[in-house]
């Protein structure tokens, strides 16, 4: 698909899925009523459902999905690992640990209050991974970053489990967030996410030329005039900000950051100046589509979006691994 068709098609898909998200649910609302509620307000039951419940839910899906897609594309470029996602550097686990400790200590209550603690956990995890990977010869190479991230993720997961098994109150509050869902959030959650999303997106997009150079190897990137460690650090920091905001708002959503960049590269191969923004659009569409599907599969009950993305993502992961093995 050419660039002239890819961008309008991606925008149309996002718009269509957004309209579905506003219309589909336990109480179906006709598309015309949805548009009327958005444009003219009103106090009918349908209008109140759309504006007070589904608009914040749709906004969370769009922003969290875009953040995870963008973070995944950046991390795959930084680590030169096609199976990388925000969990490979321990970012998702660090953000989750920050939320768990905040709940256990009584510092946060509700999704809006999780953002700062998720951000702190993700930043601490990223700093530890980079510090560990930087030691020794060669500095923070892609392989060392992935190994350090995997080790830290395991350690963080163990610490989180200890806290959760020691406090039933913390576990009760955490388990509703842990499954990854878009319901129950409000407009305030979106407002808290935005500074992190904007800062992270600007950092990652500014690194696009450097990420293209990194794909050619560190030595080639240096020969082209790029400061490899600066590019890798800035892109990782941007991905950290994006992951922290998404995880805080929606919980640990699996496979968006893994699958979306591959789809973006298949549609528009080449420069990260195209891959990164397309990954953001596709990530928003995929997460919101998973949320809509979760409302339909077991209606009138709902399947959380995090569960739906995991069910879809497992086959994608198997295919990626098989292709990787076949190419070696």
Q: pLDDT category, 74, cuts 50, 70, 90?
A: very high
Determine how many CB atoms are found less than 10 A away from the CB of residue 305: 32
Between residues 227 and 201, which one has the greater pLDDT? 201
pTM of the model: 0.86
Q: pLDDT category, 180, cuts 50, 70, 90?
A: confident
Instruction: Give the CA distances from residue 317 to residues 58, 62, 68, in Å, rounded to whole numbers and listed in that order.
Output: 26, 23, 16
pLDDT digits (tens, 9 = 90+) for 107-120: 766 656 677 787 88
pLDDT digits (tens, 9 = 90+) for 13-53: 999 999 999 988 878 888 888 888 888 777 788 888 888 88
* Average pLDDT estimate for 264-279: 89
DSSP state of 68: H
Between residues 148 and 180, which one has the greater pLDDT? 148
Instruction: Give the CA distances from residue 156 to residues 99, 123, 124, 168, in Å, rounded to whole numbers and listed in that order.
Output: 12, 13, 11, 19
Check: CB of residue 104 under 8 Å from CB of residue 163. Answer: yes
What's the mean per-residue pLDDT of the chain? Answer: 82
* Average pLDDT estimate for 227-236: 86
Q: What is the pLDDT of residue 68?
A: 93
Q: What is the pLDDT of residue 1?
A: 56
Check: CB of residue 71 under 8 Å from CB of residue 243. Answer: yes
Q: What angle do CA 203, 92, 75 make, to 5 degrees?
A: 40
Crossing angle of the two packed helices 142-166 and 168-178, in degrees rounded to 10: 130
Q: 107: burial class by Cβ within 10 Å (0-12, 13-18, 19+)?
A: middle
pLDDT digits (tens, 9 = 90+) for 211-221: 888 888 878 88
Q: What is the pLDDT of residue 315?
A: 72
Q: What is the pLDDT of residue 221?
A: 81
d(CA 204, CA 177): 27
Q: pLDDT category, 66, cuts 50, 70, 90?
A: very high
Neighbouring residues of 131: CB distance < 8 A, sequence distance ≥ 6: none
Instruction: Give the CA distances from residue 100 to residues 108, 110, 149, 163, 310, in Å, rounded to whole numbers and listed in that order.
Output: 9, 12, 19, 8, 22
């Amino acid at each position: 698909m050419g660039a002239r068709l890819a961008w309008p098609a991606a925008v149309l898909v996002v718009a269509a899925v957004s309209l579905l998200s506003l219309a589909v649910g336990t109480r179906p609302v006709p598309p015309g009523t949805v548009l009327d509620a958005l444009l003219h307000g009103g106090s009918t039951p349908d209008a109140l459902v759309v504006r007070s419940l589904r608009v914040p839910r749709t906004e969370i899906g769009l922003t969290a999905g875009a953040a995870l897609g963008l973070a995944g594309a950046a991390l795959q470029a930084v680590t030169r690992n096609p199976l990388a996602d925000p969990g490979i550097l321990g970012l998702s686990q660090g953000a989750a640990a920050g939320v768990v400790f905040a709940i256990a200590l009584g510092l946060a209550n509700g999704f809006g209050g999780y953002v700062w603690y998720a951000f702190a956990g993700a930043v601490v995890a990223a700093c530890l991974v980079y510090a560990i990977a930087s030691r020794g010869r060669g500095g923070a190479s892609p392989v060392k970053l992935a190994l350090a991230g995997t080790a830290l993720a395991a350690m963080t997961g163990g610490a989180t489990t200890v806290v959760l098994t020691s406090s039933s109150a913390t576990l009760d509050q955490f388990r509703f967030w842990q499954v990854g869902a878009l319901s129950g959030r409000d407009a305030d959650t979106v407002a808290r996410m935005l500074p992190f999303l904007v800062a992270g997106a600007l950092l990652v997009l500014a690194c696009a030329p450097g990420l293209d150079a990194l794909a050619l190897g560190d030595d080639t990137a240096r020969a082209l005039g790029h400061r490899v460690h600066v590019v890798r650090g800035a892109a990782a920091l941007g991905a950290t900000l994006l992951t922290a905001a998404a995880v805080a708002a929606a919980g640990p959503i699996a496979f968006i950051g893994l699958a979306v960049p591959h789809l973006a590269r298949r549609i528009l191969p080449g420069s990260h100046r195209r891959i990164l923004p397309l990954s953001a659009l596709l990530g928003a569409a995929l997460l919101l589509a998973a949320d809509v599907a979760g409302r339909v599969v077991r209606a009138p009950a709902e399947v959380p979006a995090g569960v739906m993305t995991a069910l879809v993502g497992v086959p994608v992961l198997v295919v990626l691994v098989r292709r990787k093995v076949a190419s070696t």
